[in-house]
Amino acid sequence: MLIVSILTIVLGFFTYFGLTAVAPGEARVVQLLGRYVGTLRTPGFHWVNPITARRRVSTRIRNHETGVTKVNDADGNPIQIATVVVWQVEDTAQAVFEVDDFLEFVAIQAETAVRHIAGSYPYDAHGDPRLSLRDNADEINERLSTEIAARVSSAGVKVIESRIIHLAYAPEIAHAMLRRQQAGAVVAARQRIVEGAVGMVEMALARLAEHDVVELDEERKAAMVSNLLVVLVGDRDTQPVVNTGTLYH
């Protein structure tokens, strides 16, 4: 009876220490004497060899937000950029055995990819037919995701999405770049106004000639065009002048 009791107690401890609970959204990496045996992924109770080491690895989707990083874009302008990376452990064995700490590995590789992408494209294309960080956000985010995925694949990590959440010029050049953008907006607005004014002048001359309202020689046409353009393009209210003489005086 004593021997049976001892064997029962030993068997009970053996059975107890072999039980392993796996919660949803996690896995257990099993090692036997330093050798990788397998991974428990199915939620519930499992029994494995009690002398094995079982390491818990979360397989839930995670977010990693990089801090605001100051880098130079493709034109050499200092900018500030920050991104968020959505990732998940896909291969638990690689995540545990290929790198020392896969969390730190993902963080470092994500920041490295962000710096590389930010330095490969300009902040603003300024009308050039090339990709820019500000104007082509979808394309840049896609390329960023591809590069991060390639960098962290050795750790068994899958990148679901990455997106730029902060993008701005560095404070030392922000004011100068703002003035440049304002100047560009003013030039574009002036160009639009001039195009519209020329069309209105052409229409006015055509309508006058069509209805024989008045006959104008080339010199008077030029004067009329000049006056209309001044009125239409000028940024101040015009002052009307009443002509009490003839058309030529």
* pLDDT tens, residue by residue, 26-54: 888 888 888 888 888 888 888 888 888 88
- 202: pLDDT confidence band, cut at 50, 70 and 90? confident
Query: Mean pLDDT over residues 120-144, rounded?
Result: 83
Query: Mean pLDDT over residues 222-245, rounded?
Result: 66
Res 15: pLDDT: 67
Query: Mean pLDDT over residues 188-213, rounded?
Result: 74
Res 83: pLDDT: 92
Number of H helices, E strands in the chain: 6, 9
For residue 115, which of 154, 151, 161 has the smallest C-alpha distance? 151
Residues 138, 141: Cα–Cα separation, whole Å:
5
- 75: pLDDT confidence band, cut at 50, 70 and 90? confident
- Name the residue with higher pLDDT: 9 or 70: 70
- 234: pLDDT confidence band, cut at 50, 70 and 90? low
Contact between residue 104 and residue 177 where contact means Cβ atoms under 8 Å apart = no
Q: Which residue is associated with the tokens 């030993």? A: 10
pLDDT exceeds 90 at position 248 = no
pLDDT exceeds 70 at position 216 = no
Percentage of residues of the chain with pLDDT beyond 90:
19
- 147: pLDDT confidence band, cut at 50, 70 and 90? very high
Query: Mean pLDDT over residues 203-225, rounded?
Result: 71
- Report domain extents, the chain: 2-58, 62-169, 175-233
**Which CATH number is 62-169's, of 3.40.50.300, 3.40.50.2300, 3.30.479.30, 3.30.160.270?**
3.30.479.30
Instruction: Kindly state the helix (H) or strand (E) to which residue 207 belongs, with its residue range.
Output: helix 171-210
Res 31: pLDDT: 87
CA atoms within a 13 Å half-sphere pointing along the CA-CB vector of 164: 26
DSSP structure class, residue 221: H
Q: Is the pTM of this model over 0.85?
A: no
Residues 78-117 pLDDT 10s: 888 999 999 999 888 889 888 888 899 999 999 999 999 9
Res 127: pLDDT: 66
- 194: pLDDT confidence band, cut at 50, 70 and 90? confident
Residues 203, 175: Cα–Cα separation, whole Å:
42
User: Within 10 A of 151 (CB to CB), how many other CB atoms are there?
Assistant: 19
Q: Tell me how far apart the terminal alpha carbons of the chain are, to the nearest angstrom.
A: 136
Average pLDDT, the chain: 80
- Name the residue with higher pLDDT: 13 or 50: 50
pLDDT exceeds 60 at position 249 = no
Res 143: pLDDT: 92
